[in-house]
Structure 1
Amino acid sequence: MLSTCILIKMLSACIDHLKTQPFWILCLFSVGFLSLSRNCMLVIKWGLTTFFRPPKKLTFYGSWALITGSTDGIGKAFAFDLAKKGLNLVLVSRNLEKLKQVSTEIQAGFPTTRIKTIALDFSRDDASSSVLQEVEKAIEGLDIGVLINNVGVTYPGARFFHEVDEEVWMNVVRVNLKGTTLVTKAVLPGMLKKKRGAIVNLGSGAAIIVPSHPLYAIYAATKAYIDQFSRSLHVEYKGWGVDVQCQVPLYVWTKMASRVAEIEKSSFFVPTAEDYVSAAVGRIGYEARCTPWWTHSLQWSLASFLPEAVLDRWRLSIGTRRREINQGL
């Protein structure tokens, strides 16, 4: 009681003191107080969202999940986690043997899970009509509730744009951009018909968190498309009961990260694919864009305090060093 009285007296004295100050000081104090309050609320909201918000029951959306790029890394981890959550799986990848192997591994752990596989190569020139038709045919009659658009490729190594062969960057465009768009087009009508569904598109910090991603320009551009595509669909279909989300990871320890970014093991800022997906599944169905892994959120926050010019120089130096290593310079 005594401490409360003292606190009230201190606040009262502070207010009385401010009343005697010039108007501009009162304005500065108000702005500072509001800014501090807002930042505190953002930190509290982040903590509650990241560590305490309950995940949605994904079987509400439907009994099946479709996952592209499902034979390695993040996609494979999603397949295992969603099977654990009670969903049947449609696994999509270009390698039929890997699809069979992953299916066998999943059913060894989850015998009641039903699994269908679709072998598709999104990099083909004629992929547009055939992809749409093959996916539509494969999922006919299935209650697809969750779509994970994970498929994605990048350059074999850091390159200035003029050094990248046309076939290489066209492959990045076809897989990252057309693949995600076509599979979404195939799955969405079924979700609209029942007025339930969740679509997760895997973006990248290369397109959102940092202002530029030099020496991987086309890859970053395709991921920027994924972000805007997801945001727009989120607004379009929220009222129809379909939750569309772009997830924005930074580095995750996968084969692609090991090859492109020379990441040899997981660390505080680089989770394993399994750890990342464990957090990512808990975010499905909520905000339009999120960074599921908590230390990635910290990196994004820290990056926001740095001038763009500093981040640009830093990213350019990293890309240049990787290019030199790849070319043996």
Structure 2
Amino acid sequence: MATNLTTQKNSQSLFDERTNLYIFFIFKCVLHLKSGGELVFITPRDFLKSTSSRKLNEFLFAQGSITDFIDLGDRRIFAHATPNCAIWRFEKGNFTRDTNLLIFQDFSTFIKNTICKFTFLNGQIIFSKSDYSIPFYELFFVKVGAVSGADSIFGSEEFGDVDFVCSKTIKSGKTKKMIYGKSAENSPYLRKFKEVLMQRRIKKFSENNWFEWGRDYFKSDLPRIYVNTKTRHKKPFFIHDCKAYDGSILAIFPKFRADLATLQRVCAKLNALDWAELGFVCDGRFIFSQRSLENCHLDSSFAEFLNIISIN
């Protein structure tokens, strides 16, 4: 391996103190690789979508191609560590953009083996056969749900006064009752747990805010579609009348006018999309985050909604 000082990038412009060390390691390895050289990595797979690796992904795409990518799913390959990992080969100077994608069911059998296109879109890497040209953020914005930091205390069928969409709602349609808002401050039930609630680490609590939740949710009457951040449900996107949602849920708000019929149609399209090809499925489980969704791209079937925005 050799260093080309004339093309060396300043790592400080790509990373900061929040960057995971393995991302910096990938960058340094590729940086010092000769043209035509190759490396095989075993790393967490989340670099494909994570916000912190956006610049790394751009750098990788500019330097060559990931020629082979083996998705290991939930298989543990490191003792005492459980990240979802992948084995992948990078070849510097190879711009064919062909990637041999393998998805393993276990260490002896795989459930998918196909040639895909290595693509860089808005900070994310995807291996796809389809054309994804419509930025998600042009059609929708995404909000995270509220986090109490102590659901076992705030959740109460007897004392709860606000219904929340939760991780179980997609299967049962039911919400959960939580103690939330102004009623929490004067709740005799909550006061019994005051000392415990003040010890929550999600944010700083004091005598003045011990009854508050750690993180609030975006309050709006706008139409929205919900999705669990992690789920094995085959149709992860759903609609519910309840306006409050907890931290296991993301709320997707259309930027175009959407009545119930339109919202249902959008929801069906989102459920029909090949999220596995977009890199959001690991070992049969959908994994979504606010940033990864907003930064992904959709296929041409969503073009009609772009037209609605342009008309309005």
TM range (shorter): under 0.3
Query: Could you state the TM-score of these two structures normalised by the residue count of structure 1?
Result: 0.23
Higher normalized strand content (fraction of residues): 2
